[in-house]
Amino acid sequence: MKSVLLLQFTRLKRAPTLMISFVVLTIVFVAVIGGFGTSTNGKETVYAYGEGKTAAWLDLLNESNVYQFEMITKQEAQEQVKTGKLHYALELQPNNYQFLVGTEDPEQVSVQQYVQNVFQKERQLQQISLTVDDPAAIRDQIEASLDAPVLTVHTEALHETAYTDSSANRYQVMIGMSLYFVIYTIFNNLTNIIMEKRNGTWNRIILSPVRKWQVYMGHLFYCFVLGFMQIGIVFLVFRYLFGYNNEIDFLPTIVTISAYLFAIVSLGMLLLGVASKPQQLQAINPIVATGMAMLGGAFWPLDAVSNGIMIALSKAMPIRYGIEALKSAMLFNQGFEAVLQPIAFLLLFGVICMGIGINLMERVKN
Amino acid sequence: MLETELLQKKFKDQLAVDGINFYMEKGESIGLLGPNGAGKSTTISMISSLIKPTTGDIRLNGKSVVKNPQLIREVLGVVPQEIALYEELSAYENLKFFGRIYKLRGKELEKKIHSVLNLVGLQERQKDLVKNYSGGMQRRINIAVALLHEPEILIMDEPTVGIDPQSRSYILDMVRQLNEERGMTVLYTSHYMEEVEKLCDRIYIMDHGKIIASGTKEELKSVLSNEETILVDMNPISKELMQTLEEDDEIIQVNEIDKGMKLIVPKGSNKLTSIFHQTEAFGVQVTNVNVQVPTLEDVFLHLTGRTLRD
């Protein structure tokens, strides 16, 4: 097994382009889809426009730790939404607000929630102020009461609360893309098994004292390690170069990545059992990888999906559970308990696919 | 040393090998002859334990290889028909990997690598990538890999296909040296008759999954000891003439060859006069005539009705 594993790394050293290109692609895709360039001082920029007395609203809105509201003209907002440069813009009115929406964006939902809260609170204060002689005093009184409340209600979600933080979207994209592109790396490297069976080197190895399971293990472990390296590099690049520096639950993250890679390597084996020619695999691989990523929420969060069939299908996709568990571990720090269920699914998925895959491969041969 | 008993292999409904019996003694050089599709490669795959026979058994020193494939794997070196190497790696890296899977390590591995590289004459180019080698050099490394662990039995499946005469001659000399000087038992399959004639002590001829003849070169040629071969070069090649000659009861076989026809006739039958009469009658000009004693190629033709390269 060790010899087969070392051989694969020697081959990687001779032709590392594929793996490097998938790492680069992951970074490029996260940059494009996640849009990490739009943040200002760690805050997500929201563009607003409006006429009249809107400056006070802007100041209130900019008290946020998450969002940075910037004014542009109405014409600019309309033009940018029309051309797709902005997904949405906020229109501020003296006593109200509305959104100009071009395309659906999950981020807009959380922005809207935040704006609504700010408006609601301020309007309540304004109404109360109308009923007293000294509006400034009542405001101070209310602020003081809020700073030292009689009761403190601490809310905690049993499951993740989607997109309460703008960074959630960026993490979603980074995790999704990393898990998506690693599928390609693994599938492409597993194709080596078929190539070796075709060019005769596989038979040569089988005729040696090395056992067949050791040969399989050498290949599978190589794909696993390669996948781990790829995901690791991407995560480290984003952590140290692009400021994705949330505190993470290290062990659950490692265990989740391992379980996910096991599931994908097993799925690759199943595909090898189904397809007997490299050309067939080259056709199947992108369909399976992209289809799985689309359904499993790698390209967009499943919270944005309302179609019942799509949601049902997503439940059979390992990438869904990989994203879910990694978000729990890397974003919400929910500990081991939160990742156990997805990991259990990934392991079950892996065992089933591996069993069927190896069975099919050996049956084809006999 | 190695024997097969009623070895049979079926792929779905197709019978690839049909109950063959075969044996090899230690130090022998055995030729397995047959045209494409005769069942040679399937037989080799079964002997080397790559595929299981449908029925029958293979025994190495009396022990069943079918039940315990590891028995033969430890003493076997196989040179496959295809270039089974990692082209993106150098010859040295290929040999190092295959040596490691045969549990060779450290100095011993290095010594064996240099020994086989010397044997195949590629010591100087060991660091070159295999994909940059010529076809002949790739074939030599293909053989070197099989020799690395010094096997007792070497199976070579058409190891000279598609290479230049110089490399071919080099490989044949090397195989002879391995057999004669190192006492390696060799099973050599080919459809180049002259290679088998040059290298092998005994020959098995296969066709349609069966062994149709076996023996030493002399024994096989004696099948045609009462016949002689007449090669007639003619212009133009006339199929009508050949059909007419086939109807002659005294002519055993007529086959078309490159420049004319090959006839097998009883020794001393003096058919030349009759042949010349017929060629004249058909308006065919005879450009050359050669009367030969039978070769293995003739034996094969006689037994199967076709040439090895059909």
Whole-number Å distance between alpha carbons of B97 and B150: 16
pLDDT score for A183: 92
Mean pLDDT on A305-334: 86
Is the pLDDT at A364 greater than 60? The verdict is no
Same domain, B114 and B244: no
Chosen from A1, A9, A13, A208 to mutate, greatest number of chain B CBs within 10 A: A208
Write a three-state SS string for B18-75: EEEEEEECCCCEEEEECCCCCCHHHHHHHHCCCCCCCEEEEEECCEECCCCCHHHHCC
If asked whether residues B12 and B50 sit together in one domain, one would say yes
pLDDT per position as a tens digit, A280-302: 888 888 899 999 988 888 887 77
Q: Per-residue confidence at B310, pLDDT binned at 50, 70, 90?
A: low
Q: Cβ of B78 and A15 within 8 Å?
A: no
| Whole-number pLDDT of residue A38 | 45
ipTM: 0.75
Whether the pLDDT of residue B297 is over 60: the answer is yes
pLDDT of the residue at B93? 92
Q: Could you tell me which residues of chain B have a Cβ less than 8 Å from any Cβ in chain A?
A: 48-52, 70, 73-74, 76, 78, 80-86, 88-89, 93, 97-98, 100-103, 145
Burial A247-282 (b: 16+ CB within 10 A, else e): ebbeebbebbbbbbbbbbbbbbbbbbbebbeeeebe
Give a yes or no: residue B112 inside a domain. yes
Residue B170 lies in a domain: yes
| Domain of residue B203, CATH code | 3.40.50.300
Residue A307 Cα distances to A169, A244, A295, A311, angstroms: 21, 31, 11, 6
Residue B92 has pLDDT above 80, yes or no: yes
- Whether A334 and A268 have beta carbons less than 8 Å apart is answered as no
Best B11, B101, B132, B143 residue to mutate vs chain A (most A CBs within 10 Å):
B101
Judge whether residue B45 has pLDDT over 70: yes
Do residues A332 and A177 lie in contact, with contact meaning Cβ atoms separated by under 8 Å? no
Of B49, B80, B100, the CB nearest to A204: B80
Considering CB atoms only, which of B88, B102, B145 is closest to A11?
A: B88
pLDDT of residue A209: 85
Asked if pLDDT for residue A9 goes beyond 70, the answer is yes
Reported as a single tens digit per residue, the pLDDT across A27-78 is 888 777 765 544 445 567 889 998 877 888 888 888 887 788 999 999 999 9
Mean of the per-residue pLDDT values of chain A: 84
Q: Do A207 and B85 touch (CB under 8 A)?
A: no
pLDDT for the residue numbered A334: 78
Lowest-confidence range among A23-37, A132-146, A172-186, B47-61? A23-37
Question: Is residue B57 within 8 Å of residue B4, measured between CB atoms?
Answer: yes
Token reading at A164: 């309460």
Average pLDDT over residues B162-189: 85
Predicted pLDDT at A221: 92
Residue A163, pLDDT score: 43
Q: How far is C-alpha A258 from the chain's CA centre? A: 17
Task: Specify whether B195 is located in the same domain as B231.
Answer: no
- What is the distance between the alpha carbons of residues A123 and A119, in angstroms, rounded to a whole number? 6
* A97-106, A177-186, B58-67, B79-88: range with lowest mean pLDDT: A97-106
CB contact under 8 A, B86 and A3: no
Same domain, B62 and B76: yes
Q: Using alpha carbons, select from B196, B185, B162, B160 the residue that is nearest to residue B299.
A: B196
Mean predicted confidence (pLDDT) in B96-124:
89
Q: Are residues B154 and B237 in the same domain?
A: no
Band the pLDDT of B308: cuts 50, 70, 90: low
Domain range for B191 is 2-221
Dump pLDDT digits (tens) for A232-263.
998 888 888 877 777 778 889 999 999 999 99
User: For residue A343, what pLDDT is reported?
Assistant: 94
Average pLDDT of span B10-15:
85
Say if B200 falls within a structural domain.
yes
The model's confidence at residue A365, banded by pLDDT at 50, 70 and 90, is: low
Which of A193, A199, A201, A365 best probes binding to B when mutated, by most B CB atoms within 10 angstroms? A201
Predicted confidence at residue A270, as pLDDT, reads: 92
Together in a domain, B153 and B39: yes
Percentage of residues in chain B having pLDDT higher than 90: 12
Mutation site, B97, B149, B156, interface A, largest A CB count within 10 A: B97
Q: CB under 8 Å to B87, separation ≥6 — which residues?
A: B129, B130, B131
Residues B72 and B45 in one domain: yes
B162 pLDDT band, cuts 50/70/90, is confident
Q: Is residue B302 part of a domain?
A: no
Residue B19 lies in a domain: yes
Same domain, B61 and B195: yes
Sorted by where each begins, the domain ranges of chain A are 2-34+165-365, 37-147
Whether residues B217 and B231 fall in one domain:
no
In this structure, the answer to whether residues B170 and B213 fall within a common structural domain is yes
Higher pLDDT, B163 or A218: A218
pLDDT tier, A91 (very low <50, low <70, confident <90, very high otherwise): very high
Contact assignment for A209 to B73 by CB distance below 8 Å: yes
B308 is a domain residue: no
What is the nearest CA distance from A292 to chain B, expressed in angstroms?
A: 33
B199, B221, B243 — which closes off a domain?
Answer: B221
Please choose, from the candidates B98, B106, B109, the residue with its C-alpha nearest in 3D space to the C-alpha of residue B143: B98
Q: Would you state the pLDDT for residue B258?
A: 82
Distance of residue B71 Cα from the nearest chain A Cα, in angstroms: 10
Residue B213 lies in a domain: yes
A212 CA to chain B: closest CA distance, Å?
11
Using a CB-CB distance cutoff of 8 angstroms, which residues of chain A are in contact with residue B70? 209
Residue B258 CB burial class (10 angstroms; 0-12, 13-18, ≥19)? exposed
Our CA-based measurement puts residue A199 at a distance from the nearest CA of chain B, in whole angstroms, of 6
Q: Which residue has the higher pLDDT, A153 or A316?
A: A316
A192 to chain B: which residues are within 8 Å by CB? none
User: What's the mean pLDDT when you consider all of chain B?
Assistant: 86
Would you state the pLDDT for residue A86? Answer: 87
Domain count of the fold of chain B: 2
| pLDDT value, residue A23 | 85
CB A77 within 8 A of CB A100: yes
Same domain, B190 and B53: yes
Of A344 and B217, more confident: A344
Q: Do B39 and B188 reside in the same domain of the chain?
A: yes
Model pLDDT, residue A350: 94
- pLDDT tens by residue, B205-253: 888 888 888 888 777 777 666 778 888 999 888 888 999 988 888 888 8
CATH number, position B242: 3.30.70.920
Contact call for A208 and B102, based on CB within 8 A: yes
Q: Is B207 helix (H, G, I), strand (E, B) or coil?
A: strand
Homologous superfamily, domain A37-147? Periplasmic binding protein-like II (3.40.190.10)
